Amino acid sequence: MTGWHLDQESLRRYSQGVASPVLAASAEAHLVKCAACRDVISSYVDARRVEAIWREVVDRVDAPRRTWPERMLARLGVGEATARLVAATPTLRGPWLLAVAGVLALAAWAAQADERFLQMFLVVAPLGPLAGVAVAFAGGLDPTREIGLAAPYSGLRLLLIRTAAVLAVTVPIVAAAGLALPGSKWLAAAWLLPTAGLICTALALTSRMTPVVAVGVVAGAWVLVTAPATVAGHLGVAFGIGAQFFWLAGAIGGGAWLAVTRNTITIRLGRSA
Amino acid sequence: MTTVSVHGATKSFGRTRALDSVDLDADPGVTGLLGPNGAGKTTLLRMIATVLVPDQGTVSLLGRDPARPADRTGIRRRLGYLPQDAGFHRGFTVFEFVDYVAILKEMTDRRTRHDEVRRVIALTGLESVSAKRIRALSGGMRRRVGLAQALLGDPDLLVLDEPTVGLDPEQRLRFREMISQAGEGRTVVLSSHQTEDITALCGRIAVIHQGRARFVGTPAELTEQAAGRVWTDTQRSPDALTAWRTGDGVYRNVGDPPAGVELIPPTLEDAYLLLMSEPELEVTR
Amino acid sequence: MVTRPPDPREDSQLLAAITDGDREAFAELYRRHLPWLLVRLGRRCASPELVDEVVQDTFVAVWRSAGKWDRRGEVAAWIWGIGIRRLVDALRRSRPPTDELTEFAGVETSAEEHVLLAVQYGDVGAALASLSPELRAVVQATVLDGLTTREAARLLGIPPGTVKTRMMRARALLRERLA
């Protein structure tokens, strides 16, 4: 920059901390602007110290930045590795959550406009969490696809972790949409047990087919059964007290089956695993 | 103990028979699967990577049976796999991606896992891009990221599907170097449709064509099959299965030579061409 | 780090490359700027361990927020700004809080003070030297280090009110000496 530089002796005294306050102040004012004088300083600094700090810096720079869901999970006592797996679940990324929220907002809005749509909301509600589970395992979105299939990490464990993460996010969205509906508040809760039953059934099916296909089968069956009944006004078929017990039994049964067979079944997380 | 032992493996997808009664053994060192695209190499490699189970036949890996869930986890702990389409999470940085795979490989302690991730990143020469997002990398670099994750945990069995595809010549050389290093003391099974890669790397090769193993043996044995079937001439010979004009102006003919021509030593590529052009050749061992 | 030929890039170009995740550029920027930062922060904090931690934080912050550099002024000044504030934060964590009753809102160093000390008068050095160490420390923290009254108080471990009164006294004395 300028032709003027600090002399060698001043730089040495400053670097070694023995410069007078006035010299130090003047040196610092100059150093901010002068690369050449800054370079001279490095010869007075312990190279091992520079190297040691660099190693720490590199480790912190390399390490994946913890996202807010990871920090939240860590606070809840979830292990760092598990939290990473959760955070990488495709459904938990913005666009997919927005899609789920958008569809439900639309359903809620339609229900305000017309009584019949109110009942249709119940039919649509479980599809949100179900779609979330499917997205979590869709081939093109899974961060590791094939690689993950050949990794020793338990397929069932990964399936449950991702499903739990998806439910933790989508269920509150659906619940909020349900509460926004006019009329009886039981509507806001009537879909919960059916959803649990459907999810557990889909999970149990993953020993036979990929999660995406399993969700498709379950969701298809659900719509085929409930949509005509709902349109015809027989809400009780899918949501009445008897039906609620049926869904509860389905959820418990599916869960119990997974628990009992966990060491012997092969979870098909991807095509032909 | 043979690390990889495949017997009578058969696999169909719908009506297509991808693999038809294939036998293959592999021991420490590099074993190569050579064959045209769609020959069944990927299907065979997916079996060796525990991702696919044969309809018929048996597979034994590292002395265990991948069809049994308990054995399979044990195999996967000692396995590294680079799939043909590695499927990266494109928003991840190189470090984040390899770290993610390391978690799936059951490395839970953060500090040791990061050290291991750094080790494989250094092995594959990716240090300078470790903080870059995968979507910003070239195809060759992504292939290296795939190799890096396969090397995590120093596996005993390394399965690499077309590791050199899409690489420029310089990158291919660098990759060969890395693979041959990896082949010291462990079993590497890789596939390629490039005879140069196979010649350069493999102590043992299997030629796969239309779902069958047409040849299994050493490169020298395969080359030997073309002995007496390659000759040079001033013109394309009508007896040749294939012939081309080389840089020095003479024609290199491969096929059944007429009497009195000048035979030359064959290459592995000659033998491979002959094998491919004879659909019903006997399986040799 | 291994020794390599000097990188021809300017600091500002290095920062731009760091935004794209260029590790070599980061190593070069570290090589250029760590030593003086270590020395300068070392003069303001007696514990080398704490200084090491602070420079670590500083360079991690440089890596992550290289894109936030406003492209004005010296890169060194920007790095210093990060470093000294990290030091202030670290000192606040390691020291018991100062008397809250005497604390009042931080006041930015006014442009007048910069002019007063840096440009308008010739013999600043001698005038500074004549100040007592306490007053000089306040002048250094607020004027040279560019800290607010509150930050200077944290750095020096004294109440902000004291920083204010000492600064007023220092200013009066300097004006007298330089007049």
List A residues 152-171 in contact with C (Cβ-Cβ < 8 A).
Answer: none
Interchain contact, C20 vs B132, CB within 8 Å: yes
Interchain contact, C21 vs B127, CB within 8 Å: no
Measure in Å the smallest separation between the Cα of B35 and chain A Cα atoms: 22
Provide the pLDDT for residue C71. Answer: 82
- Checking B87-91 for CB contacts under 8 A at 24+ apart, the result is B87/A139, B87/A140, B87/A142, B87/A143, B87/A144, B87/A145, B87/A146, B87/A147, B88/A143, B88/B134, B88/B142, B88/B145, B88/B146, B89/A88, B89/A143, B89/A144, B89/B134, B90/B133, B90/B134, B90/B135, B91/B133, B91/B134, B91/B135
B contacts of C63 (beta carbons < 8 Å):
131
Q: Report the candidate in A55, B249, B268 with the shortest Cα–Cα distance to residue C60.
A: A55
CA atoms of B35 and B273, how far apart (whole Å) = 10
Count CB-CB contacts under 10 A for residue A1.
11
What are B231's strand-pairing partners? B253, B263
Cross-chain CB nearest to C56 (options A26, A57, A65): A57
Dihedral sign for Cα atoms in the order A155, A157, A160, A166: negative
B contacts of A85 (beta carbons < 8 Å):
100, 103-104
CA-nearest residue of chain A to B54?
A: A272
C contacts of A32 (beta carbons < 8 Å):
74, 76-77, 80
Provide the pLDDT for residue A116. Answer: 67
pLDDT at B82 over 90: yes
Interchain contact A106–C (C-beta under 8 A): no
How confident is the model over B154-206, as pLDDT tens digits? 999 999 999 988 788 888 888 898 899 888 889 999 998 888 888 889 999 99
CA atoms of B15 and B46, how far apart (whole Å) = 19
In this complex, the chains that touch B, judged by 3 or more CB pairs closer than 8 A, are A, C
Averaged pLDDT for residues B246-256: 86
Provide the pLDDT for residue C114. Answer: 46
CA-nearest residue of chain A to C64?
A: A61
Structural domain spans, chain C: 7-95, 99-179
CATH of domain C99-179: 1.10.10.10
Measure in Å the smallest separation between the Cα of C101 and chain A Cα atoms: 32
What are B232's strand-pairing partners? B252, B262
In this complex, the chains that touch C, judged by 3 or more CB pairs closer than 8 A, are A, B
Q: Report the candidate in A66, A255, A272, A260 with the shortest Cα–Cα distance to residue A159.
A: A255
Q: Write down the ipTM of this complex.
A: 0.81
Interchain contact, B129 vs C23, CB within 8 Å: yes
Side by side, the strands of the sheet bearing B204-209 are B79-82, B157-160, B187-192, B29-34, B204-209, B212-217
Q: Which of residues C62 and A136 earns the better pLDDT score?
A: C62
Phi, psi of C116 (to 5 degrees): -55, -45
Interchain contact C80–A (C-beta under 8 A): yes
CA-nearest residue of chain B to C23?
A: B128
Radius of gyration of chain A (CA): 30
Class of CATH domain B1-78+155-218+279-285: alpha beta
How confident is the model over B118-145, as pLDDT tens digits? 999 988 989 888 888 888 888 888 889 9
Provide the pLDDT for residue B8. Answer: 92
* DSSP three-state, residue B267: coil
pLDDT more than 90, % of chain C: 34
Half-sphere exposure in the Cβ direction for B47 (13 Å, CA): 28
Cross-chain CB nearest to C23 (options B128, B133, B136): B128
Structural domain spans, chain B: 1-78+155-218+279-285, 90-144, 223-277
Q: Report the candidate in C76, C167, B87 with the shortest Cα–Cα distance to residue A143.
A: B87
Provide the pLDDT for residue C5. Answer: 67
Interchain contact C45–A (C-beta under 8 A): no
CA atoms of B208 and B39, how far apart (whole Å) = 6
The CA-atom distances, in angstroms, between B46 and each of B13, B50, B144, B164, B275 are 14, 6, 20, 17, 24
Interchain contact B234–C (C-beta under 8 A): no
The type of residue at B25 is D
Provide the pLDDT for residue C112. Answer: 43
CA-nearest residue of chain A to C57?
A: A57
Q: Determine contact, residues B51/A273, Cβ cutoff 8 Å.
A: yes
The CA-atom distances, in angstroms, between B178 and each of B75, C41, C177 are 23, 44, 72
Number of B:C CB contacts under 8 A? 16
Interchain contact, A20 vs C129, CB within 8 Å: yes
Interchain contact A25–C (C-beta under 8 A): yes
- Tens-digit pLDDT string for chain A (273 aa): 457 888 888 899 999 988 887 788 888 888 888 899 999 999 999 999 999 999 889 888 887 777 787 888 888 888 888 888 888 777 677 667 777 777 777 777 777 777 667 777 788 888 888 888 888 877 666 666 788 888 888 888 888 888 888 888 888 888 887 777 766 667 678 888 999 999 999 988 888 888 888 999 999 999 898 888 877 777 777 788 888 899 899 899 988 988 888 777 777 766 543
Interchain contact B122–C (C-beta under 8 A): no
List B residues 157-186 in contact with A (Cβ-Cβ < 8 A).
Answer: 159
Q: Determine contact, residues B207/B272, Cβ cutoff 8 Å.
A: yes
Alpha helices (H) along chain C? 11-19, 23-42, 48-64, 75-94, 111-114, 124-129, 133-139, 149-156, 160-178
C contacts of A5 (beta carbons < 8 Å):
none
Class of CATH domain C7-95: mainly alpha
Write the CB contacts of C8 (distance below 8 Å, at least 6 apart in sequence): none
Measure in Å the smallest separation between the Cα of A220 and chain C Cα atoms: 46
CA-nearest residue of chain C to B128?
A: C23
